[in-house]
Structure 1
């Protein structure tokens, strides 16, 4: 009799609980901390739930630092880089999926290799490039690098979807007078909607969370993004964790809403892309 330990329902339930705890506990801890006072945070033994919840930390998060400006900068940069990433990745993925390239496998291998480069190794060249172009302390200083960093992964995601779409659909569209680019954006892209949404979410989250380039390329307060701005709440000898946690919650909300809205499409894109790949 064949016995597969991993197929047991109890083990799957335990694994699910562990994953759920690992994913939600840090977020819940930040939310609870944002509702506590400084004195309650220092109480021993630890109170996991706030005994006297307060929203004063959220008020301080918006008044101690220009949090709305940081949110706008992060949102503008993330949206622009995501749109540019999807446009470039769509064209690249379509070329790899449809054109009979002689070194297609090698190109895909290079794309995978490039996507694994540590960001710190690219910091100095990117800084020198942006300085020579006069783009330091501007939105483009982050939009362009974020696009370059997200294109490889998004291209790989889209290639697997474009490969699964019959070529006859494009041929029929072109017979009716549609150009190849028109067939791409009117036929292929809509049919690959789960993959496009998945690639878009990956690019958006990458731009929204990035810290190192945002700190190095934009030193002007006018162009600071949310991850950099949150670090400014701490003083030389003080760490106002409740206020910092409130700012973190504000930063988590947009991404959480985005994931909730497109949850089904993202899950479909990840599973379908994994099966096809």
Structure 2
């Protein structure tokens, strides 16, 4: 476990160290910066990079995709787990199949479609594909969680006078909160990190999310590669996700490992 943890954390540590080095010291290979500098972080939030605007774009896109995926995913998961209808397994398999398509295979048709709709450089050109990729993940996680819930809980609510919708909203949904939290965080991270489609659908800095903005950072000249600035931007983008996971780690673990019987 220690070896695996080191393997996963070493790149992030090197990114943090490199972000604290001045441009002249970026290639000195020191494990600890000799003279820590915040110049790279100042460059990240400089006016020429529009990084604050890119952060807002990513937050809007990832947040919208997460909310819509949860709204649809919770209802679809409940139906797949609790209702009996023909071809239920086929529908669940189709959800999984949609997530298997590589993004590069649908990039050109999506670009043509969104160009015809006038969606290039808009949020919906990124939100809609993100939902199509994250929704199957949410449905699969939540379906397993609803399946683990005892039927007696819903039957007891129905006996007490609840309608099917009331039983779902007042009894089952509160018990599914750990699974919903787990799904929300995983979906948000997936949408936050998406690059390929966002890069194709955004052609102006005002519409670009952070993943595209970092890739298009430029140095002081055409011969300058802004490694330090890119590393600092990577730290800024990664830290909120780390904090999010640390704050909700108990709910994540509970959602992945337990059902309502707990």
TM-score in same-fold range (> 0.5): yes
Match of 2:3 in 1: 18
Does 2:62 align with 1:78?
A: yes
Match of 1:105 in 2: 89
Distance 1:93 1:203 in 2: 15
Match of 2:152 in 1: 168
Distance 2:11 2:169 in 1: 40
Distance 2:23 2:144 in 1: 50
Could you tell me how far 1:209 is from its partner in structure 2? 0.4
Per the alignment, in what secondary structure is the counterpart of residue 49 of structure 1? coil
Match of 1:266 in 2: 252
Does 2:29 align with 1:54?
A: no
CA deviations 1:190-232 (Å, max 9, x no partner) are: 1112211111111101110000111111212221100000012
TM-score for the superposition, normalised by structure 2: 0.92
Does 2:17 align with 1:32?
A: yes
1:121-270 matched pairs, under 5 angstroms:
121-235=105-219, 236-270=222-256
- Of 33-42 and 174-183, the range deviating more from structure 2: 174-183
The answer as to whether partners of 2:50 and 2:205 remain within 8 angstroms in 1 is no
Could you tell me how far 1:84 is from its partner in structure 2? 0.3
Could you tell me how far 1:131 is from its partner in structure 2? 2.2
CA deviations 1:65-100 (Å, max 9, x no partner) are: 111101011011111110000011111111101111
Match of 2:27 in 1: 42
Question: How large is the RMSD of aligned CA atoms in angstroms?
Answer: 1.6
Distance 1:134 1:174, change over 3 A: farther
Match of 2:103 in 1: 119
How many residues were matched structurally? 256
CA deviations 1:9-50 (Å, max 9, x no partner) are: xxxxxxx0111111111111100000001221233xx21110
Residue segments in structure 1 that go unaligned for 5+ positions in a row:
1-15
Distance 2:245 2:64 in 1: 18
Per the alignment, in what secondary structure is the counterpart of residue 82 of structure 1? helix
Match of 1:3 in 2: none
Distance 1:151 1:245, change over 3 A: same
Residue segments in structure 2 that go unaligned for 5+ positions in a row:
none
TM-score for the superposition, normalised by structure 1: 0.87
Could you tell me how far 1:169 is from its partner in structure 2? 2.1
Considering fraction of residues, name the structure with more helix: 1
Distance 2:16 2:166 in 1: 47
